[in-house]
Amino acid sequence: MGLTAGIIGLPNVGKSTLFNAITKSKALSANYPFATIEPNVGFVEVRDKRLERIVEIVKPKSVVYTSFSFTDIAGLVKGASLGEGLGNQFLANIREVDAICHVVRCFADGDVIHVNGVVNPIDDIETINLELTFADLEVIEKRLPKIEKKAQLKVDKDAETEYKILLKAKEALSEGKSLRDVGFSKEETELIKNYNFLTLKPMIYVLNVGEEDISNDSELVKEVLEYAKKTNTETVKISAKIEDEISELPEEDRAMFLEELGIKESGLDQLVKKSYDLLGLATYFTAGEKECKAWTFKKGMKAPECAGIIHSDFERGFIRAEIISYDDFIEYGSLQKAKEAGKMRSEGKEYEFKDGDIALFRFNV
Q: What's the pLDDT at 108?
A: 76
Long-range contact set of residues 307-312: C-beta below 8 Å, sequence gap at least 24: 307/361, 307/363, 309/1, 310/286, 310/361
pLDDT less than 50: residues of the chain: 25-37, 80-81, 83-87
Distances (CA, A) of 284 to 269, 326, 344: 18, 9, 15
Closest CA to 325 of 295, 289, 355, 360: 355
- pLDDT at residue 75, as a whole number: 61
pTM of this structure = 0.81
**How confident is the model at residue 354, as a pLDDT?**
96
How confident is the model over 6-52, as pLDDT tens digits? 888 888 888 888 888 877 644 333 333 333 335 577 777 788 889 99
Rounded to whole angstroms, how far apart are CA atoms 3 and 94? 14
The reported pLDDT for the residue numbered 110 is 60
Nearest in space to 71 (alpha carbons), one of 23, 12, 26, 28: 23
* pLDDT (0 to 100) of residue 15: 83
Helix (H) or strand (E) holding 183: none
- Dist CA 301 CA 306 (whole Å): 7
Return the pLDDT at 213. Answer: 83
Cross-sheet strand order for the sheet of 345-347: 62-64, 291-298, 281-287, 357-363, 318-325, 345-347
pLDDT computed for residue 37 by the predictor: 39
